[in-house]
Amino acid sequence: MLGQTPLPPLGTFEDYEIFIQDMAPLEAAAHALIKRHALPDAPLTRFEEGTNVVFALGDTLVIKIFPPFHRDQYAREEAVLHSLLGKLPISTPEILHEGGISGWPYIIMTQLEGTLLETLWDTLSPRNKESLLAELGLLIQQVHTLPTQSLEAIDSHWDRFMQHQIARCVAHHRAHNLPEGLVAQIPAFLEEARPMLFKEHKPVILTGEYTPMNLLVKEMDGVWHLHGLIDFGDAMLGSPAYDLLGPAAFLIQGERALMRTFLTSYGYRDGALKHDLSQYFTALMLLHQYSNLNIQVRIDGWQKRVKTLHDLAELVWGF
């Protein structure tokens, strides 16, 4: 019986991490959903990455099951997937079924073709990296022009979100082992950036996920191009610049020419690429809800190359 699927009402992430080590109840839940929706008989393969339970069903479908305390992630992913479908030059998953099983929300969606950019970025030629970043800047700009009227439920209420992030910023980065000399500079640095952080703006769809772990590419005539975008559980409405952080940290890695290509493709003019803008971007990096600069700033030995947060801004952004 579907109602007997062994998914408990877990209340904490710690309990969840222990529970998901056992594949049997997770596979039982997936098979219950396959039966419920008369899905095709195909191999079931679990993706190890990510914070939710995700299975590939053959090579055409994905089953994503969210623990009860991630119901907000389910709601965000469901809303944004519906909003983006068919509106971009690249593919996004299509929701085929959604609902709940034993109190755990789920989405069954199409599986996109392509290769995760994370698996090959370091092997690409400089020219192919540049062309991909130009495509990515344009893609983000296109997402940011989409209407948001049906997405009020995922509005981050930007000023309130920023205030919350500022209040916890020092403790957060100390806990993540940011060098203490930089941690001590955070309050003054954020205060300098405050007018930009709270500048009035029109909220846009922020996926928060323009990272190589969520971008799919395909090769055509020896050149890799963007092909798909996945994972919208952290999506919200807010300030456009927030979405530029992932590509800068994970892909551009301090390469100034690549940064200029990316930002001008997004829509910035060359004349706007000045230090006050890099300070604003760096403040957002510090305030990102998942900020962990020791992991996310992919520039070798950067901790020994900077003495101030202004040095870090110049190193990462290049201006």
For the stretch 181-193, pLDDT in tens is 999 999 999 999 9
pLDDT of 304 > 80? The answer is yes
pLDDT at 51 over 90: no
> What global pTM score does this model have?
0.92
Inter-CA distances, 263 with 6, 129, 147, 209, 214, Å: 48, 14, 22, 17, 20
User: The domain spanning residue 230 has which CATH number?
Assistant: 3.90.1200.10
Specify whether 131 is located in the same domain as 194: yes
Give the CATH number for residue 26. 3.30.200.20
Specify whether 42 is located in the same domain as 165.
Answer: no
Say if residue 227 is in the same domain as residue 263: yes
CA 15 – CA 9 distance, rounded (Å): 10
pLDDT value, residue 148:
95
160-177 average pLDDT score: 98
The average pLDDT across 25-30 equals 95
If asked whether residues 72 and 216 sit together in one domain, one would say no
pLDDT tens, 101-122?
Answer: 999 999 999 999 999 999 999 9
Residues 6+ positions from 78 with CB-CB distance below 8 Å? 95, 98, 107
Beta strands in 189-288 (DSSP E): 204-206, 215-220, 223-229, 236-238
Burial (CB count within 10 angstroms: exposed 0-12, middle 13-18, buried 19+), residue 115:
middle
Domain co-membership, 262 together with 122: yes
Q: What is the share, in percent, of the chain residues with pLDDT greater than 70?
A: 98
Task: Report whether pLDDT(3) > 50.
Answer: no
Final residue belonging to a domain, choices 110, 126, 159? 110
Task: Summarize the confidence of residues 315-319 as an average pLDDT.
Answer: 95
Q: Please check whether residues 121 and 198 belong to one and the same domain.
A: yes
- Please indicate, yes or no, whether residues 71 and 131 belong to a single structural domain of this protein: no
| Domain count of the fold of the chain | 2
Distance CA 63, CA 109 (A): 7
The string of pLDDT tens digits covering residues 229-286 is: 999 999 999 999 999 999 999 999 999 999 999 999 999 999 999 999 999 999 999 9
* pLDDT for the residue numbered 4: 56
Name the band, by pLDDT with cuts 50, 70 and 90, for residue 5. Answer: low
88 and 144 fall within a common domain: no
Looking at 110, 131, 157, which one is the last position of a domain? 110
Query: 150 and 228 in one domain?
Result: yes
Q: Are residues 70 and 16 in the same domain?
A: yes
- When computed from its CA atoms, the radius of gyration of the chain, rounded to whole angstroms, is 20
Q: Tell me, what's the pLDDT at 14? A: 92
pLDDT at 1: 39
2 has a pLDDT exceeding 50: no
- Distance, CA of 293 to CA of 299 (rounded, Å): 10
Do 247 and 290 fall within a single domain?
yes
Statement to judge: residues 144 and 283 lie in one domain:
yes
For residue 79, what are the domain limits? 2-110
- As a whole number of angstroms, the distance between CA 310 and CA 24 comes to 50
Domain boundary (110, 133, 158) is at 110
Q: Residue 208 above 80 pLDDT?
A: no
The mean pLDDT value of the chain amounts to 95
* Distance between CA atoms of residues 166 and 122, nearest Å: 34
